Amino acid sequence: MSLLWLRVAVFLYGIAALAVLPAALYDRPRWRHVAIPATITAVLFHFVSLAEMLNAAHHALPVDTHEAQTLLSLLLGLAFLLVYWRYRTVSLGIFILPICFLLGLIPAFHPGQESTILPLLHSRWILLHIALLLAAYAALFVSLMASLLYLVQERRLKQKSPTLLWLPPLETTDQIALKSLLFGLPCMTAGLLIGSLIAQATVGATYFRDPKILLAFAMWLAYIAMIYIRRHSGFRGRRAVYLSSFVFLVVLAVWAANQLSAVHRFTAP
């Protein structure tokens, strides 16, 4: 049944992704009343699907790439709903909802049969490690999208062109970007700390020579530097986009390092 619920969630994400376009771009409240309930229902079905999927597999955490994609998609859907609840804007849904749809599409219709190579991944602490890092990735993506929207609106104001009514005010967009980063930092810090403590107790010092681990700590340092620069130098607009984009590229490098990692790589049974 988990695949059925996931397919329903993907279908609802697709509806929400389409409905959010007229809701945001043309300020049509009727479509907003479609997009938000569809997203809420999709998140509920998504959560049920993930819970059943993990229960059927007899583990309490994602242990393959498809399950990790499913969890990341769920976290992005929740992030969009939180931003809407706090700021009453659906603008970010133009970017986030299609990502939720695409991330859930392959696990829903082509579920994988991959498995991890380490039995320690069945630890509940590893569940927290993975969930916290995925939450940090989701927060960084939201911050990057908000920074891009800030740049678009700021440029139109400087050119004395009419502002885009579907975008929130600059101050609101900047707050979304900054608070997303501030939410993601403790998630990333705790996730890396938990992973490091478990690794030290189980794998030993060789764990810290893994290329993915080195990149992960580089990502953490870049994340801290970005927050510090934003808060103390007042970077906004283009410079904020450059900073967010750089850290996001490091995140992509961490994901790509899965193929080189001796610890995190997923292999076929």
Residues 58 and 186 in one domain: no
Residues 214 and 247 in one domain: yes
pLDDT score of 118: 46
Q: Is the separation of the CB atoms in 46 and 73 below 8 Å?
A: yes
Structure tokens given for 141: 């993506």
Q: Which domain holds residue 240?
A: 117-269
pLDDT score of 268: 38
Residues 262 and 135 in one domain: yes
Q: What is the Rg, in whole angstroms, of the alpha carbon atoms belonging to the chain?
A: 19
Residues 72 and 123 in one domain: no
Residues 23 and 124 in one domain: no
pLDDT score of 9: 94
Residues 86 and 151 in one domain: no
- For the chain, how far is it from start to end, CA to CA, in angstroms? 23
Residues 108 and 170 in one domain: no
Look at the block and give the residue holding tokens 């967010």: 244
The C-alpha atoms of residue 242 and residue 264 are separated, in whole angstroms, by 29
* Residue stretches of the chain with pLDDT short of 70: 57-65, 111-124, 161-166, 199-212, 232-241, 244, 252-269
Nearest to 183 by CA among 220, 222, 139: 139
Residues 90 and 165 in one domain: no
Residues 88 and 131 in one domain: no
Residues 95 and 218 in one domain: no
Greatest alpha-carbon pair distance for the chain in Å reads 60
pTM of the predicted protein model: 0.76
Q: Is the separation of the CB atoms in 64 and 115 below 8 Å?
A: yes
Structure tokens given for 236: 């906004």
pLDDT score of 211: 66
Q: Is the separation of the CB atoms in 164 and 152 below 8 Å?
A: yes
Structure tokens given for 147: 């920074």
pLDDT score of 206: 58
Residues 96 and 140 in one domain: no
Q: Is the separation of the CB atoms in 53 and 25 below 8 Å?
A: no
The C-alpha atoms of residue 74 and residue 9 are separated, in whole angstroms, by 10
Q: Is the separation of the CB atoms in 143 and 244 below 8 Å?
A: yes
Count up the domains in the chain and report the number. Answer: 2
pLDDT score of 116: 44
Of 95, 113, 131, the residue that ends a domain is 113
Of 62, 82, 113, the residue that ends a domain is 113
pLDDT score of 218: 78
Of 79, 113, 147, the residue that ends a domain is 113
pLDDT score of 194: 82
Residues 254 and 126 in one domain: yes
